[in-house]
Structure 1
Amino acid sequence: MQATSKQMPKPIARQGNAQQPRTPEPRRFDPKAMLGNSEMQAALGSGLLMLIAWATSGWSEILSVLLYVISYTVGGWIKAKEGVETLVKERDLDVNLLMIAAALGAASIGYWNEGAMLIFIFALSGALESYTMERSKKDISSLMALKPATAVRIEQGAMNEVAIDLLAIGDLLLVRPGELIPADGKVCRGESAVNQASITGESLPVEKTAGSEVFAGTVNGEGPLYIEVTKAAENTLFAKIIKMVEEAESEVPDSQRFIKRLESIYARVVVAATVALIVLPPYLLDWSWSDTFYKAMVFLVVASPCALVSSIMPAMLSAISKSARKGILFKGGVHLENMARTSVVAFDKTGTLTEGIPQVTDFIAGEGYDRRELLAVSASIEKLSRHPLAEAIVRMAEEEQVELCNIQESKSVTGWGIEGTVQGQQWRIGKSNLLDEPAVQRDDEPVQHWKTLRQQFEAEGKTVSLILAGDKIAGMIALQDTVRPQAEVAVRKLQKLGIKVAMLTGDRAEAAQAMAARTGVDMVFADLLPEDKVSHIKALREQYGHVIMVGDGVNDAPALATATVGMGMGMKGSGAALEIADVVLMNDNIEEISSTIALARRSQRIVKQNMIFAVTVIVSLMLGNFLQGIALPFGVVGHEGSTILVILNGLRLLR
């Protein structure tokens, strides 16, 4: 059905149930959440009971054993449950069950405290890991909050508010000023500036007229728009963004699969070796059953993976804590591990490398006009507009302490700019496309001079506006999104680490190239939609390996989820970007990215040191048990001593 065949009523006043844009609230970091974690409470409770049981062992053995049993239950219940579920459902062994068996084995020959210590350390490590992993779970609820719920559909001249799911291709919709556009479509009638930052990342609103394409989830400006639906709700660009995020979240990292396989193999080998050590020596080596069982319990204790587990998490948590002091929050230890392998850092431009707020860079007064007076007139007229460019002009006048004029009349010229009357003189401020119209092509005006200036400014990636007094050009304004002061330094620091820097943006190629020249990035990709950013991130990963994506908008969410590590801007970033991101820069200080990568690399070196040391100690204790025979207390001390050492080595990162 063609839009021209439909009756279009005049815009009506905003109704109380009109769909309003919603800004999603980012999830706040709660420092009390860790202690509120049930696993952490169980681990700490187990440790406390262990200490009380040890303290009471001298005067009441029964009470001490009872407290140890409670300590075992409190600290080991969750891990034991997980181990049993893995055994029953997956018919496989894991480290959880192995640790519980080691602790029970120690208790069975009277070493209650050693077993309780094993459970406490393992439960504590598991609780910390569980807490950090919970933070890594991505939630797209904020992204979904930007999805319009209803639309105003025009049917036979009447307006009806309907659910988004009921819209069909060819429907005619009315979108009032300030409302969310409910569906992808084409403008049939009306002119307005649409804020497309949620889709394209463009820092400035885009003018829409008849025939222009619009996207669901973007915000209409000051003019009503009549839109013909071109895509069903499930096929809109906004729906694709959500789908891409969900697909990226469902991918399981290869490292996680490897660790799971290694855990299963390790547990099976230890259990098989323990059983063999109990059964075979009495027949092959003529050992007594008591000696055999004792050596098997020593083996089960020294072979338990406490030191291996502790070789990773303390180092990672120390690095995470140190980063938090600088306002960089990790949602999981795996992201720190991935960050250490970074080869490329890809930045979104608007709001990341730039401030996301346009500023006046050049204010040129024509011949015969005083610059301050022209700025006063321009700011006085623009003060009545909420357009970002208008606000930039007003800010400039305030900074230069220019006194504003009295405006007799002012009105917005939809799709072009604004006009007003000052002391009987009509003024117009808007797009520079008037330079190409016959009305200003007069021999007594230096039009070519203004065209040359415009060409120069646009080549620098700036947005150009004209100031007209009547039909005469009075001046020209150039505006541009301002670069973050630390952007160039941040890029240079990353390059010193051997990391390539890319920039992905929905802005024009001219603006992107101008930004690249100012910041020194290695690669530039411009005019991108969210799905294009995802394609480029995938290509960068295929070519270079691990990629960090840094962004602040909803449009960056799919790319953040697709990258090896997604990094969101905390202060000015959208709620969706913060929820999807694996790492959040709470103070938006991109200069700290390089130091965080360096810290991640250092943490990985410490993890490798710890793992080599832990394996060496375990192997040494097992060989000592087989060749010379060691006492169970010595095995526990040696094993737990190695655990303490690797923990302390990991905590060095806190200095």
Structure 2
Amino acid sequence: MQATSKQLPKPIARQGNAQQPRTPKPRRFDPRAMLSNREMQAALGSGLLMLIAWAVSGWSEVLSVLIYVISYTVGGWIKAKEGVETLVKDRDLDVNLLMIAAALGAASIGYWNEGAMLIFIFAMSGALESYTMERSKKDISSLMALKPATAVRIEQGAMSEVPIDLLAVGDLLLVRPGELIPADGKVYRGESAVNQASITGESLPVEKTTGSEVFAGTVNGEGPLYIEVTTAAEHTLFAKIIKMVEEAETEVPDSQRFIKRLEAVYARVVVLVTVILIVLPPFVLDWSWSNTFYKAMVFLVVASPCALVSSIMPAMLSAISKSARKGILFKGGVHLENMAKVTVVAFDKTGTLTEGIPQVTDFIAGEGYSRDELLAVSASIEKLSRHPLAEAIVRLAEEERVELYSTHESKSVTGWGIEGWINGRLWRIGKTNVLDEAAAAVEGERHASWKAVRKQLESEGKTVSLILEGDHIAGMIALQDTVRPQAEVAVRKLQKLGIKVAMLTGDREATAAVMAGRTGVDLVFADLLPEDKVTHIKALREQYGHVIMVGDGVNDAPALATATVGMGMGMKGSGAALEIADVVLMNDNIEEIASTIELARRTQRIVKQNMIFAVTVILTLILSNFLQGIALPFGVVGHEGSTILVILNGLRLLR
């Protein structure tokens, strides 16, 4: 790219009225945010009115009842509305209607304060759960507020502000200091530190210079940047994240679906038993009507499944929220639930355990061929491919300023390599497996010598490709990828959790074995086509149970879909991989996988604790009501208090 190919105006200072985006900060508990929650305000208002009504009850019974009615309305309106909507739309009973019915029942026999207390605590627990969900959604989707609306586009040296929807690939943009970067692109000119926390979760700004990649929704630092757009607005990484967030907000884990189904049945049973308790005891046990109705109302309160219903989602949302802060996006709670069960993590090699930027280490020309000629031929054919190995060969040709040829009928050979015609001759570049074929059109001695060269190169951990002119071997190329600095640490952390680590690669066994030795993986599967990866993932699931597949390329997409949980690399991952993945590592930091699995397991433990605690409290209160008899206020505090406790237990994950 030549600097003279575009007319660049001088950098312009940011206008005084330009919007200064806020740098995202980690969220901690904020009482002001909780108090601004509408449901929390209603709950607190209800509680205050309850205290006032109780205080004036000795002075004026009528005024006290009037204030109690207002307290019921303020605290119970939202829940009553939700209950009626469920009844009308879904023809189902839920805990909201049960609680409102219990409160009205208590009031009907003169227990106004107990009913108001029930409404207050029930509204408070609902407000806490609502706050948890709101906070979690903000942690997951706070970057939505960073969606740029316009961009400064440069055309023929003139600048104009345009909506981002009108940007096209190749457009040149100016991003002033402190402004949001409006599109995915590459820095054309300028130097600055860019805050990428909204996309990758990185806490420190990343230095950007000419040629660096930048992403929509990130914040430019102190220097102006000229950016060339590389991706249309609807396909940016930012747009993909927003889609993931929308999926995460609608997908419900299996355990929560089960609880929802149970709630509908359970609520009907509670209502039926309550009616029976109201009707039968006066005739069968000779109880007074008021005593019977009182015990029925206590049962209605303590038997309601509020705590059980709240056992799962606050904990799940808290865990998803915590992961989002670290740049790990879940597309729903079901994937967090599945992640807690995994026993094997399978990595694709290139771009996952390695950097995915291989370099040509050896370029060997056969007898009768010139190295420059073979490099020109190889780069001419490979320039049409987006494969990392192909790009490495093209980079080498560019560095050595080799003049390329015109290529005809170039096409990919699935699972092997690429071929094309140059000056009437067919050239093929691909895997060296032709050396192992009995029908290889090469004399025995030369055949053996090429195999010896391949063996030596592969023993050094290099990937080897063969250059063929027709069926004749013309040369050999060796390339090597660099292991990610954190790969060995990531593998070791997973193994400490008792998880087996597998590596799936299309490389030959010798190359894969060297890479396995460097990273410490337990299982190695080499010479794989995309369909082979799917086969091995299925086999791992059958042998070990639940499997996570971590990948970044189009060829990993089928395996990601087959695994229990598919995990995609967000920074360098292909669109297909991100589309299919259930979880996305936005900063490609694979060493966070182990801590995410730990978080998923901890979440499951908290959910189990909550469910056991909730069921125990419900059964204890029901038995106490029938065997000994408990006061309605005690039933209210015991039952609704348990609901608040399970919500707070789930909120522990946000620490």
Q: TM-score, normalised by structure 1?
A: 0.59
2:602 matches 1:602: yes
1:501 alignment partner, SS class: strand
| Cα distance, 1:535 vs structure 2 | 4.3
Task: Identify if the C-alpha distance between structure 1 residues 268 and 314 changes in structure 2 by more than 3 Å, giving closer, same or farther.
Answer: same
Change in Cα spacing, 1:390 to 1:278, as seen in structure 2 (3 Å) is closer
Query: Given the superposition, is the C-alpha separation of residues 432 and 312 from structure 1 closer, same or farther in structure 2, using an over 3 Å criterion?
Result: closer
* Residue in structure 2 matched with residue 309 of structure 1 by the alignment: 309
Alpha-carbon distance change, 585 to 252 in structure 1, aligned in 2, over 3 angstroms: closer
Is 2:454 aligned against 1:462? no
CA contact (8 A) 2:578 2:584 kept: yes
The correspondence for 1:75, drawn from 72, 79, 98, is: 79
Distance in 1 separating the partners of 2:591 and 2:347 = 12
Aligned mate of 1:48, from 17, 30, 41: 41
Q: Where do residues 149-228 of structure 1 align in structure 2 (5 Å cutoff)?
A: none
Over 3 Å counting, the alpha-carbon distance change for 1:134 and 1:531 in structure 2 is: farther
Q: State the 1:290 CA deviation.
A: 1.7
d(CA) in 1 for partners of 2:81 and 2:274? 23
Shift of 1:301: 1.4
1:524 & 1:439 partners in 2: Cα distance? 32
Q: List per-residue Cα deviations over 1:155-196 (Å, max 9, x = no partner).
A: xxxxxxxxxxxxxxxxxxxxxxxxxxxxxxxxxxxxxxxxxx
- Residues 378 and 467, structure 2, Cα contact 8 Å, conserved in 1: no
Contact kept? 2:343, 2:545, Cα under 8 Å: yes
Following superposition, the deviation at residue 621 of structure 1 comes to 2.4
CA contact (8 A) 2:136 2:318 kept: no
Query: Which residue does the alignment assign to 2:338?
Result: 338
Superposed, which structure 2 residues align to 1:434-583 within 5 Å? 452-458=452-458, 460=461, 462-464=463-465, 477-505=477-505, 511-526=511-526, 528=528, 530=530, 532-583=532-583
Correspondence for 2:326? 326
Instruction: Mark the CA change 1:280 to 1:431 in structure 2 (over 3 Å): closer, same or farther.
Output: closer
The CA distance in 2 between the partners of 1:537 and 1:431, in whole Å, is: 25
Inter-CA distance 79–509: structure 2 relative to 1 (3 Å threshold): farther
Q: Using a 3 Å threshold, how does the CA distance of structure 1 residues 467 and 627 change in structure 2: closer, same or farther?
A: closer
Give SS of 1:483's match.
coil
| Amino acid of the structure 2 residue aligned with 1:540 | L
Q: 1:117 to 1:519 in 2, by over 3 A?
A: same
Structure 2 CA distance for partners of 1:479 and 1:617, relative to 1, 3 Å: same
- How far apart are residue 479 of structure 1 and its match? 0.8
What is the CA distance between 1:571 and its match in structure 2?
1.5
Render the CA deviation track for 1:525-562: whole Å, top value 9, x for unaligned. Answer: 45555555444434433332222222233444444344
1:211 aligns with none
Partner of 2:121: 117
Moved more, 256-265 or 339-348: 256-265
Q: Is the 8 A contact 1:347 1:504 kept in 2?
A: yes
Residue 320 of structure 2 aligns to which amino acid in structure 1? I
CA separation of 1:287/1:83 partners in 2, compared to 1, >3 Å: closer, same or farther? same
Residues 529 and 397 (structure 1), Cα distance of their counterparts in 2 relative to 1, 3 Å cut: closer
Distance 1:333 1:601 in 2: 13
Is the CA contact (8 Å cut-off) linking 1:99 and 1:118 kept in structure 2?
Answer: yes
1:156 paired residue number: none
**Offset at 1:472?**
14
Task: For residue 641 of structure 1, give the secondary structure of its aligned residue in structure 2.
Answer: helix
Distance (Å, rounded) in 2 between the aligned partners of 1:463 and 1:472: 13
Contact 2:47 2:120 in 1 (8 A): no
- Relative to structure 1, is the Cα distance of residues 79 and 288 closer, same or farther in structure 2, using a 3 angstrom cutoff? same
| 1:84-483 matches, cutoff 5 A | 84-87=88-91, 95=95, 98-99=98-99, 101-102=101-102, 104-105=104-105, 108=108, 109-110=111-112, 111-119=115-123, 121-122=125-126, 125=129, 255=255, 258-259=258-259, 262-362=262-362, 385=383, 388-389=388-389, 391-392=391-392, 411=406, 452-458=452-458, 460=461, 462-464=463-465, 477-483=477-483
Contact 2:83 / 2:97 at 8 angstroms: preserved in 1?
yes
Secondary structure in 1 matching 2:498: coil
In the other structure, the counterpart of 2:147 is none
CA contact (8 A) 1:344 1:499 kept: yes
Q: Identify which range, 563-572 or 110-119, moves more after superposition.
A: 110-119
1:338 and 1:86 mapped to 2: Cα distance?
Answer: 29
- Pairwise CA distance, 1:386: 6.5
Letter in 2 for 1:624: S
Amino acid corresponding to residue 634 of structure 2 in structure 1: F
Judged with a 3 Å threshold, the aligned counterparts in structure 2 of structure 1 residues 346 and 634 are, in CA distance, closer, same or farther, namely same
Query: Aligned letter for 2:463?
Result: K
Q: Which amino acid aligns with 2:304?
A: S
Which residue identity lines up with residue 463 of structure 1 in the other structure? V
CA-CA distance at 1:622 after TM superposition: 2.4
| 1-structure distance, mates of 2:527, 2:622 | 62
Corresponding residue SS for 1:291: helix
What is the aligned partner in structure 2 of residue 628 from structure 1?
628
CA distance in 2, matches of 1:82, 1:528: 52
- Greater shift, 312-321 or 592-601, is seen at 312-321
2-structure distance, mates of 1:302, 1:439: 83
Shift of residue 95, structure 1, vs aligned partner: 4.8
Give the distance between the partners of 1:341 and 1:439, measured in 2 at CA.
Answer: 51
Equivalent AA in structure 2 for residue 606 of structure 1? I
Contact 2:606 2:650 in 1 (8 A): yes
Q: Which amino acid aligns with 1:563?
A: A
Report the AA paired with residue 584 of structure 1.
V
CA contact (8 A) 1:380 1:406 kept: no
What letter is aligned with 1:545? G
**Aligned residue identity for 2:44:** L
Unmatched tracts of structure 1, length 5 or more: 1-30, 35-39, 137-250, 368-373, 421-427
Query: Structure 1 258/379 Cα, relative in aligned 2: closer, same or farther at 3 Å?
Result: same
Instruction: Go from structure 1 to structure 2 and tell me whether the alpha carbon gap of 1:119 and 1:612 turns closer, same or farther (over 3 Å shift).
Output: same
Number of residue pairs matched? 479
| TM-score using structure 2 length | 0.59
**Aligned position for 1:149:** none
SS in 1 for 2:357: strand
Instruction: Report sequence identity in percent.
Output: 67
Instruction: Label 1:575 to 1:632 Cα distance change in 2 as closer, same or farther (>3 A).
Output: farther
Q: SS at the partner of 1:629?
A: coil
CA distance in 2, matches of 1:576, 1:381: 28
Deviation string, structure 1 residues 197-238 (Cα, Å, up to 9, x no partner): xxxxxxxxxxxxxxxxxxxxxxxxxxxxxxxxxxxxxxxxxx
Query: AA paired with 1:642?
Result: S
Deviations 1:27-72 (A, max 9, x none): xxxx99x9xxxxx99x943332232344345387646634642543
Alignment check: 8 A CA contact 1:346 1:550 kept: yes
| Contact 1:45/1:71 (<8 A) preserved | no
- Contact 2:45–2:74 under 8 Å retained in 1: no
Q: Do the aligned residues in 2 keep the contact of 1:83 with 1:95 (CA within 8 Å)?
A: no
Deviating more after overlay: 377-386 vs 358-367: 377-386
1:65 pairs, out of 63, 69, 90, with 69
Aligned partner of 2:228 in structure 1 is none
- The structure with higher relative contact order (CA 8 Å, sep 6+) is 1
The aligned counterpart of 2:646 is 646
**2:504·2:526 contact (CA, 8 Å) conserved in 1?**
yes
Amino acid paired to 2:537: I
Cα separation, 2, equivalents of 1:266 and 1:133: 29
**2:145 — aligned with what?**
none
Q: How far does residue 462 in structure 1 lie from its aligned partner after superposition?
A: 0.6
